[in-house]
Structure formats: C-alpha cells, structure tokens
Amino acid sequence: MILTDYFRSTPDATWDFAIQSGINHGVIRLPEDAEFSHSSYSHWETVVKRFNDYGIVPVAIEPMPNSLHDHIKAGDGKRDESIAEVIKMFPIMKKFGINTICFNWMAHIGWLRTRSDYIERGGARVTEFKMSDFKPTDKKIMADELWANYEYFVKAVVPEAEKYEIKLGLHPDDPPVARLGEVERIMISLENIKRAVYGITPSESLGVTMCQANYHIMGEKVFEVIKDFKDKIFMVHFRNTTGMPEHFRETYHDNGELDMARLMKLYVELGIDVPIRVDHVPTMPGEVSTLPGYDALGRLYAMGYMRGLYEAVKIK
C-alpha cells in the first residue's frame, strides 16, 4: 500500500501533520481558481513543485476537477469541452508520475450530510446523514440520463486514459440512496458499479476507488467486495461508519462497524499496492471546523492509526 493523505493545493496544517506522521505521498486536489488551467503543463509544474518542495510526492488526483466534471455528469452544453479538457490532463499527469484520478457520478449534489455536529467519543464532532432531515433542491436528473451521460463519458475518455496508462477510479455515491429529491443516483449498489466498470467499456484503465464504508452502508459484504474487485481497486478510502443508507454517521476510524485491522490485513495479503488515505475524520474538541470531515487534528489521529495498522499487519 502507498500510505497517503488528501491535500488541498496550498499548504496548511494537514501538510505538516502528514510529513510529521511519516506520510510522504499525496492524493491532491487541483487549484480551483479561474487562473489555473487544467491543460497547462507550467501550471501543473508549479503545483507539483510546491508539494515536492514540502516533501510530498503527488500520486493521485481527487476529485476530477468539479469545474469540468459537473458539466460532464449533468450532460449539459459544456460537456464536450469539459471532456476534452480532462483528456488533456492525462499526458501531463503521466509526465509527473501521477497515474490515478478519482471520479464519481453524483450529479448536482455531491457527497452529502445533514449535520456536522453529531457528538462522538470524548466530545469530538462527526458528520451524519438522515434522510428525514434532507431538504430537496430544485435540481433534477433521472437515472436513465445518468447512465447515458456515464456511457458517453467513459467511451470518450477510457481509450485516452489507456494511451497514457492513467487509472480512473470510480467512487460510489455518498450517501448510496436512489434519489435525493428529484436528483436520482445510480452508483448505489455493487451490481450497478460492476455494470459501470465491466459492462460498458471494459478496460485496465477503468476501476474503482474502494470507499469501504460506502459499500458497508449499502449492505454489501465489504471483505467479499474487496476480494471481488481486487485488481480493479485503484485507490482506497480508509473510512469507518455506523448505520444504514438513509441514516448513518461517521465515526473515529476505530469506533465504527468495520473491522479496520482485518481490512488492512486483507489489502496487504491480496497485494493491493495502491494509494490509501484516511477519510472523513472527526473534528476534535477545540478545533474550529473549516471543512467537516477534513479538519487537521482528526486527520493526525487517523493517519497514525492507519500507519500503525499497516506496520502491524506486515509483521510475519
């Protein structure tokens, strides 16, 4: 496994905590300001150098830039130019040794929670989703549109990804529910995700981001899912939760329904050697939350926990 953390494009405390925890590889978020061009080698060079100078080696991109991806998922008038821009990213990624990109198929509404102050162990705060508390928006898209848009995208992009040996890791919908108001969702079951990966444009470049808690929330047997996908796992989100699709919450990584030690052991035993990062951490007491699920002190705890499990399961 390649132990990583998730980094925004400008330095903050999470960069320092990662380095101090011995995490030297990064799943990075590209800049989202209008000045950054996704197809400019020099713009990428500036970002990659910033990470390298800090001691972090970027190995994956997450998310596929929303300024492009939102148009692609919705299938709107900017879809084709956005797909063209994504394709231009691939040769640049290859030059910098970044061979993985995480993408999802959540149109109009991304990953969603209905509160961010559920009290966890010791007064830490975590996010929660409760369908009965969800307030619908005026957005609308149907499942058949989503499938059509997905097929259009992968047929255009996968052949180009193959040329540059880029791995596209599909993330499940979060929460994995069939609809949020008038916005339907399709990546909500193992069956549908298998259709997306194997049934349209089968390719060594098309696989999954194994967000293990999402599969657990779906009701799938996570250990069997990992064994089933195995060679199709391009990235791992090491995350724990408790609950079901219409009502669940995040937890400390050691305090949810998944056996994280056994999961780490399985990844290592199967020889899954991909970026793995902690995901959706608690906001610790005393922290002023800037982005619930991604605050600094919770990541520090989670990275140490992940690293400790990894070192332990490697003992023969």
Distance between CA 217 and CA 85 in Å, rounded? 34
Distance between CA 95 and CA 105 in Å, rounded? 27
What value does the mean pLDDT take over residues 79-100? 99
Helices and strands per DSSP (H, E), number in the chain: 10, 14
Tell me, what's the pLDDT at 315? 85
What percent of the chain stands above pLDDT 70?
100
Residue 149 predicted with pLDDT over 90: yes
Is the pTM higher than 0.85? yes
What pLDDT digit, counting tens, does each position of 284-302 carry?
A: 998 988 899 999 999 999 9
Tell me, what's the pLDDT at 122? 96
Distances (CA, A) of 190 to 186, 199, 269, 286: 10, 13, 22, 39
- Dihedral pair phi/psi, residue 176, rounded to 5°: -85, 70
173 confidence band (pLDDT: 50, 70, 90): very high
Residue 237: strand pairing partners: 211, 277
Contact yes or no for 141/74 (Cβ under 8 A): yes
Residue 314 predicted with pLDDT over 80: yes
Residue 252 predicted with pLDDT over 80: yes
Tell me, what's the pLDDT at 100? 99
> Over the chain, what is the mean pLDDT?
97
Tell me, what's the pLDDT at 288? 87
89 confidence band (pLDDT: 50, 70, 90): very high
Distance between CA 19 and CA 55 in Å, rounded? 7
Residue 36 predicted with pLDDT over 80: yes
271 confidence band (pLDDT: 50, 70, 90): very high
Distance between CA 186 and CA 32 in Å, rounded? 27
Tell me, what's the pLDDT at 290? 84
Q: What is the CA radius of gyration of the chain?
A: 19
- AA letter at 161: A
Find tokens 């906001």 and name the residue: 283
| CATH number for domain 2-313, candidates 3.10.180.10, 3.20.20.150, 3.20.20.80, 3.40.50.720 | 3.20.20.150
Q: Strands 206-211 and 167-171, how do they pair?
A: parallel
Distance between CA 287 and CA 296 in Å, rounded? 8
Cα dihedral sign for 47, 51, 57, 61? negative
Tell me, what's the pLDDT at 22? 94
**Every domain of the chain and the residues it spans:** 2-313
> 286: how many CB neighbours lie within 10 A of its CB?
7
What value does the mean pLDDT take over residues 106-115? 98
Residue 316 predicted with pLDDT over 80: no
126 confidence band (pLDDT: 50, 70, 90): very high
What pLDDT digit, counting tens, does each position of 187-232 carry?
A: 999 999 999 999 999 999 999 999 999 999 999 999 999 999 999 9
- AA letter at 120: E
Closest CA relative to residue 94, chosen from 165, 181, 23:
165
Distances (CA, A) of 286 to 80, 139, 149, 298: 46, 37, 44, 11
What pLDDT digit, counting tens, does each position of 150-164 carry?
A: 999 999 999 999 999
Tell me, what's the pLDDT at 213? 98
